[in-house]
Structures are given as structure tokens and as C-alpha cells.
Amino acid sequence: MNSQVIIFDTTLRDGEQALQASLSVKQKLQIALSLENTGIDIIEVGFPISSPGDFKSVHEISKIVKQSKICSLARCVNKDIDVAAEAMSLSKSFRIHIFLATSTLHMESKLNKNFNEIIDMAVSSVKRALRYTDDIEFSCEDASRTDMDNLCKIVEKLIKTGVKTINIPDTVGYTIPNELSLIIKNLFQRVPNIDKSIISVHCHNDLGMAVGNSIAAIQAGARQIEGTMNGIGERAGNTALEEIIMAIKVRKDILKVSTNIKHKEIYRTSKIISQICNMPIPPNKAIVGSNAFAHSSGIHQDGVLKNRKNYEIMDPSSIGLKEVKLNLTSRSGRAAVKHYMTEMGYKETDYNMDELYTAFLKLADKKGQVFDYDLEALAFVNTQQDELEYFSLSFFSVQSISNGLSTASVKLLCGKDVFIESATTSNGPVDAIYQALNRITHFPIILQKYQLIAKGKGKDALGQVNILVEYKKRKFHGVGLATDIIESSVQAMINVLNTIWKVNQVNKKLKNLKKINK
């Protein structure tokens, strides 16, 4: 049996159905090119009959994408098929994907058809699609709840008609792995011409088993897997392709199959799709989540520092991820603290590990997550966290006009001194306040990330602002929390300014120590 598994991506069709707002042609093209660059074999780029916008995006993509084969969806309706072919007419090679329900439930309650009528509709539609291309895929919608005798009968008939790919969808995420495996095995055993077609599966994640079902299908003989990047899609989503792809790579010893995927493009493509679709990736998401290669437990961190294979079954660089994190929390051990100090260029003789670790645990219990610059302050400045911060907000005022200028005034306590500054900008009230603060501190800060998160509901809900800034090629995190989002934005920036001030004190102290040692 062929050892290659074809990867069929339906992010632009099934995935887009789950989005709150439709994607623009430009956004779809960007996603398609990213998928092509990742080595996706077949990209289902849309459902052209559904809207003029979808037709246009399919048409534009068909002009640009060359390495991946493009595919469009169509019902068993002549116009659907004709429009799908027309939309892809600029592509040298394309696939038409036809679907029709085959389960008794769907036939009776949705289509009001009997099984013989379903077969006639399917065969007639396939013949029409063959006028445009010999690459036809047929999906037996709700196949996992279709009578096995009926499923075998229609699959045999469709292959005889000229269908090259038969898709067995678990349309509502109903089946479990051994059940889907049995369905695929039955098809191979009972359909005499099964070797003339590729068997595909399209699994949904309603019971959280889409990836498991897809793996079981591969082991039973399926050689095409359909899904989406990050698992986005209807209801609970689709098979997450990045998980399937890496499972095939990591467990090649058992699965004994391969793909054409460029694995180092996975992380980049995942992030692009997340941003364009406005679908954040959960931190604990397998393969591409921010915690997928992060370690917090002291035992795990110590094991990873000794040998990454102790707690990582794949190399982060294999998906194109360069930065790997050891989270500094109250669960972290001495090994992680020492690692961060070493990464910053400090020797063990430069600081007292016992004192540093004790201070670190106290700060971690209070702050939650500690960063490398916090360790520097603890090690060299002996800053007591309960003492007053150097920068403290005394007063701020903002005036803002819709589509106009925003003006902010800030009164800031800097140690024993008081400074008042104003700034005007067309980029909104938060930017105006940040500019005013920068005029006081004179820190060359670059704001890299601004995130607003609602905490609670109603008028008393809190707005948490998380920011990430760059200062002298180093990144600093800040958090602010208040019912007023402008106030929480100010708090986040002052949080950062105080951290930078402490780091600057560390640097001054280290310079003085070097002079003394000389």
C-alpha cells in the first residue's frame, strides 16, 4: 500500500465557516500562499456557488497557486459543479469536490430521498464534473452514521463512475477511533474496486477525537487526511492538521507513512492563520500552543536542561520554532534560575544562589511569573518588592475626539521629583499618554504588543492590559488592571518603566563593581 498520506487542507472552506466575519480575497490569498509554502498537497479554497465573494477569491487563488492543487466544493447540483469549474478555470489542474448525504437520518429528514435516488444523484453529478476534470472527490456526508451495506454499495458505484478520491466524513464528530477504523477496513474488504481510489477521512472534533479518528483511519488504510490548520471549523472544529502531520513524523516507527509537508513552516503558517482569522491559539494547544514547548515544573526544567528528550518528544526547531521557554514560577527549581542567570552572562560566583532563590520564590508567589530582569534586580539590587516603586502615577487627563486628535497630560512621581508632561497624537488616547510618559522618562521604548482582556461582565468588569516593549534590544512585560482601560494601560506602562529603572540600577551597580575590582 502507498506509504504517502495526502494532506488536504480545508481552512479556507470549512475553517472559514466558523469565523465571525468572512475573509477578504487578499486575506484568503495570503493564507493559500502560506499553505502552499508549507507543502500542502490539496487546498480546498472555497464553495464558489455560495457567494460572489467566494467565487472571486477562488478565481484569484487559481491564478496564483501553482505547487498545491486547488479544489472547490459543490453540491450534487449541476449549477454548483459548473460554477466550481468556472471559478478554477485559470488553474492548469484542479479538483472538484462533490458531497451528498448518505445516512438514513439525513436522507429522510433533510433530503426526503431514498437511497436509490441518492445513488442516481451522485452518479449523475460525477459524470457532469468529469466534463471539466478527471480529478473528482466525492464525500458521503455523515458516512460514520451510514448503513455499512449502503456505504459499500455507493462507494463501489462511484469508483466505477470515475471518482478518484472517496471521502468518508465523520460529519458530526460522532464516531470513535476503533469504530472509524472498522468502517475503513470494511470498505477495503467489501468493495471490489477499492484499489482504484484513494480513501480519505474528514473528521470533526465534537467529542475531541478528530485527530485520534484520523490516525486510526490511516492505520486502517486511508491515504488522505482532511482538516484545517489549528483545527478551526464548524462547531468544535476539524482535525488539526499540524497534529496529524507531526504525529506521522514523530511516530513513523508505528504508522510507517510520510507526507510532503515542509515541517519547519508549520509554526509560521499556524500563526499567520490565527492572526488573519482572529482565532487565538490556546496556550495548551498541541504542537503550536505557547506552552507546547514550555516547562514550569522544577523537575521537568532540570530534566530538560540536562537533555531535552527527557520531556520533549520532538525538537521545537522541527516546526520552525526557535524560542523555547522555561517559565519562571513558584514551581521552578534552582536549575531554571541558574540557567537564566547563565544565559544573561553571569557566573555562579557573581551572586549568592541561596539568597537569590529564596527571594525568587517570594517574588514568584506574589507576581505569578518572573522574568530574567526580575532575577537581576533580586540578585544585585536587593530591591524589596514591598517598597515604593521609583515611578508612581499622581494624575492623568485625556481629551479625545473621534477621528481626530487625542491630548494627554500626566503628572508622574520619579523618586522624590515630580514631573508634568503633555502629548498630542492622532493615534488615540493610549498612545498620547504613552508619549507623555516617554517624554518624562526619556527611555527609548518601542511598544511591540498591546493586548486588552476583559475580566468579568457588565459595568464593573475589569480591563486587563498586557504590553510587551523593547528597550535596548531587550523585551519587558507590563500588566495593568482597572475598570477604566486607559488607566489600566497607564498602569501597564508604569509597570514596565519601573522594571527598566531597576535593570538600569543593576547595570550601574555592576559597572561600579567592575571598577572596584580593577
DSSP 429-487: HHHHHHHHHHHHH---EEEEEEEEEEESSSTT-EEEEEEEEEETTEEEEEEEEESSHHH
Q: From CA 220, how far away is CA 403, in angstroms rounded?
A: 60
Q: Determine contact, residues 204/170, Cβ cutoff 8 Å.
A: yes
* ∠ CA 468-470-471, rounded to 5°: 135
Q: From CA 111, how far away is CA 286, in angstroms rounded?
A: 38
Give the 3-state secondary structure of residue 36: helix
Phi-psi region of 215 (alpha: psi -120 to 50; beta: other; left: phi over 0): alpha
Tell whether residue 263 is among the known ligand binding residues. no
Find how far residue 267's CA is from the centre of its chain.
8
Under DSSP, the state recorded for 263 is G
Give the list of residues 6+ apart from residue 60 with CB closer than 8 angstroms, or none. 25, 28, 29
- Helix (H) or strand (E) run with residue 100 in it: strand 94-101
Q: From CA 5, how far away is CA 117, in angstroms rounded?
A: 33
Q: Determine contact, residues 393/514, Cβ cutoff 8 Å.
A: no
Distances (CA, A) of 396 to 176, 297, 393, 430, 434: 58, 41, 8, 11, 11
Distances (CA, A) of 187 to 167, 367, 436: 12, 58, 70
Q: From CA 171, how far away is CA 107, in angstroms rounded?
A: 14
Tell whether residue 204 is among the known ligand binding residues. yes
Tell whether residue 339 is among the known ligand binding residues. no
Question: End-to-end alpha-carbon separation of the chain, Å?
Answer: 73
Give the list of residues 6+ apart from residue 191 with CB closer than 8 angstroms, or none. 152, 155, 156, 159
Give the 3-state secondary structure of residue 150: helix
Tell whether residue 14 is among the known ligand binding residues. yes
Classify strands 69-75 and 94-101 as parallel, antiparallel or unpaired.
Answer: parallel
CA torsion angle 161 165 166 170 (round to 10): -160
Known binding residues: 14, 202, 204, 238
Which residues are documented as binding site for Mn(2+)? 14, 202, 204, 238
